Structure formats: C-alpha cells, structure tokens
C-alpha cells in the first residue's frame, strides 16, 4: 500500500501542479523505475483532476443565477480550473504535435520542431480550437442538466488518460532520450502497470454508472437505456480517436514522443464529450431519452 501511494503521489507530482513538496516529497522519493511505475496511476490522476473540476462546477452551477448562459460560464471556468491544476501539461503537448506534424512532412524535421519550446501557428490554432470545442461541448452537456456536465467532466478526465498508456505499450519512444522528460515513462509499461491503470479506469466507470443510474431519478426524461448508451458511446468515441492518433504517430513518426501522449489525452477527452453529446441526441431522436 505504501508503494502504491508513493507511485500515485509521484504521478500527481509529475502530471499536475498539485504540490507534493517538503517531507511528503522526501517520503515519496524518486527514481526512473518509480517514474515508470507511476505511469499506471495516470487515470487516477484524471480522477482527482476530474473530480475536483466536477465538484467546483457543481458548486458554481448552484450559485449562478438560473440562466441559459450558466452552463457556458461553468464550462469556461471548469476548463480554466483544469488547466490551472495540470499546468496546461497536455495542451502544451497538443500544440507541439500540431506544430511538428502540421509544419512539415519530414519525420526528422517534425521531431526537431516538436522539441522547440516556441509555439507556432499550427500549435496556437490547435489549442484554440481544442479549447473552443471543449467549452462548447461541455456547455451543451450542461444545458441538458448540471449533473450530466459534472459526470462528463469526471469520466472524460479518467478515460482520456488511459489511452496514452496503450500508446506507450504499442509504439517505441522516438524523442530525444537525453532531454525528454517522458523517456523514463516510455522505457517500459508492464502488463502489471496496465492492469493498475485498468483498475483505476473501471473503478471510475463503475462509480459513474452508479451515478448515472441515480440520475434517472433527478434528470427529467432520462431513461435507463440512455444511461447505458451514453457511457458506451463516450468510451467508444474516445477509443476510436485514440486509434486514429496511434496510426497517425506510427505513420508519421514511427513512434511517439511525450508531446504525443499529451495530444492523445486532449483528443481523447474531446472525443469522449462528443460521444456523449451524439449519444444523447440519438436517444432523443429515437424516443429513448
């Protein structure tokens, strides 16, 4: 249990701005092997980030005046909170991938561009569009019901952080071994680590399924069939987005870098929200909701 907690806290320290300092940091410790093991807890980090954002969004919706614009305000501020908690860690990866793969067809030049800390036109456009899409989808889900928005936030942050681990498992690391912060993570993802990540993800999904079942009694017009369709559609859409990203990286880079992992998380999160919205629309048109 102590090892489990150390690895989780190290993952929290690496992937977020949550302070793990002082005596706590000394107790956690650090080694490349520990950092590799900590990757298994990335979905657990998503549970903390998503849970914190969902809770803040719930409180905000309760305090805001009743207005059609309340879900939009909550979506914007929730997105701001998630960026502050993570330090825009994944958004930075998305920008670098867009700059590298959007700016050239040459593999070596793309990798060189991705190492540059400066953000180019492709990166800026990608981040702006991603944030706009995220806020729009969350506001749409929030317009259905505040509980729908909060459940989507929590689940999206967990599910989207599982896919980068599969990328690490299936593709070789092609970044700068000397300067890459992700290299220790990419050295090896064992089946045991994937099992821990699956446990985090399935536990979160089970919790969400229970919450969604309870939502049947509080969300007007929501049916049991919509609850199941909603959850499956979100995970499926996010998984399909991961497959597309995996094939893109394999074709263009013959592997992945740390920036690719961040981009995968962002695209997976957006696809999850889109899947939820499409499923709700399909259920409404089919008379299931």
Contact (Cβ atoms closer than 8 angstroms) between residue 268 and residue 240: no
Q: Kindly tell me if the per-residue pLDDT of 69 is higher than 80.
A: yes
Q: Kindly tell me if the per-residue pLDDT of 226 is higher than 80.
A: no
Contact (Cβ atoms closer than 8 angstroms) between residue 261 and residue 170: no
| Closest of 243, 237, 248 to residue 271, by C-alpha | 237
Contact (Cβ atoms closer than 8 angstroms) between residue 95 and residue 83: no
Q: Kindly tell me if the per-residue pLDDT of 173 is higher than 60.
A: yes
Q: Kindly tell me if the per-residue pLDDT of 182 is higher than 60.
A: no
Tokens matching residue 285: 């048109």
CA distance 78 to 55: 10
**Mean pLDDT lowest among 24-38, 43-57, 145-159:** 24-38
Question: Residues of the chain with pLDDT > 90: what percent?
Answer: 56
Give burial (CB, 10 Å; 0-12/13-18/19+) of 163. Answer: buried
| Closest of 31, 174, 142, 20 to residue 77, by C-alpha | 142
Q: What is the pLDDT of residue 278?
A: 92
**Mean pLDDT lowest among 111-120, 213-222, 271-280:** 213-222
**Mean pLDDT lowest among 30-44, 107-121, 184-198:** 184-198
Q: What is the pLDDT of residue 286?
A: 65
User: Over the stretch 98-149, which tens digit does the pLDDT of each residue have?
Assistant: 999 998 899 999 999 998 888 889 999 999 999 999 999 999 999 988 888 9
């Amino acid at each position: 249990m102590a090892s489990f907690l150390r690895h989780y806290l190290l993952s929290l320290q690496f992937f977020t701005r949550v302070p793990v300092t002082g005596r706590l940091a000394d107790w956690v410790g650090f080694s490349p092997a520990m950092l590799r093991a900590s990757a298994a807890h990335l979905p657990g980090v998503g549970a903390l980030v998503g849970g914190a954002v969902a809770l803040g969004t719930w409180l905000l919706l309760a305090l805001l005046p009743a207005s059609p614009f309340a879900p939009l305000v909550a979506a914007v501020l929730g997105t701001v909170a998630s960026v502050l908690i993570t330090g825009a860690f994944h958004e930075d990866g998305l920008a670098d991938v867009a700059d590298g793969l959007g700016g050239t067809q040459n593999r070596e030049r793309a990798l060189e561009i991705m190492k540059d800390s400066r953000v180019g036109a492709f990166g800026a456009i990608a981040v702006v569009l991603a944030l706009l899409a995220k806020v729009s989808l969350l506001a749409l889900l929030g317009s259905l019901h505040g509980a729908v928005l909060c459940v989507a936030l929590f689940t999206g942050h967990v599910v989207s952080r599982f896919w980068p681990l599969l990328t690490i498992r299936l593709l070789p690391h092609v970044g700068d071994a000397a300067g890459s912060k992700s290299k220790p993570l990419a050295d090896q993802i064992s089946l045991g680590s994937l099992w821990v990540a699956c446990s985090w993800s399935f536990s979160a999904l089970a919790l969400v399924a229970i919450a969604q079942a309870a939502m049947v009694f509080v969300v007007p017009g929501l049916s049991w069939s919509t609850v199941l369709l909603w959850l499956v559609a979100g995970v499926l859409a996010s998984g399909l987005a991961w497959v597309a990203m995996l094939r893109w990286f394999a074709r263009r880079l013959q592997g992945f870098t740390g920036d690719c992992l961040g981009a995968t998380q962002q695209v997976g999160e957006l696809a999850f929200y889109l899947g939820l919205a499409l499923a709700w629309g399909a259920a409404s048109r089919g008379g299931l909701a």
